[in-house]
Amino acid sequence: MFLDELIPVAKELMQQPIAFAGGFFSGLLRLNLHEDPVRSWIDEQAGSTSYTPPATEATNKSTGPQSISID
């Protein structure tokens, strides 16, 4: 039933209402938490600047098709 699907959302809302509202509105506004305005604000609130961006795949920069052999 539809109510069964809303129970986990309601429980999370009751446990941490401010964090839930922040996550809900950031998802609603499609904010990327890794972009500068939001990231700097999160770092300021958390008191840390230990964010490291995800590593890009720099080891294999070939742009054309690759051949593989299957035994």
Domain coordinates of the chain in residue numbers? 2-46
Q: Specify whether the CB–CB gap between 60 and 69 falls below 8 A.
A: no
Q: Would you give the distance in Å from CA 23 to the centre of its chain? A: 10
The tens digit of pLDDT for each residue in 44-68 reads 777 765 556 566 555 556 677 888 8
- Read off the pLDDT of each residue in 7-15 and give the average, rounded to a whole number: 85
30 Rama sector, left if φ>0, alpha if ψ -120 to 50, beta otherwise: left
Give per-residue burial for 19-49: e unless 16+ CB within 10 Å, then b. eeeeeeeeeeeeeeeeeeeeeeeeeeeeeee
Q: What is the pLDDT of residue 1?
A: 66
**Model pTM?**
0.38
Q: Encoding tokens for residue 54?
A: 């995800």
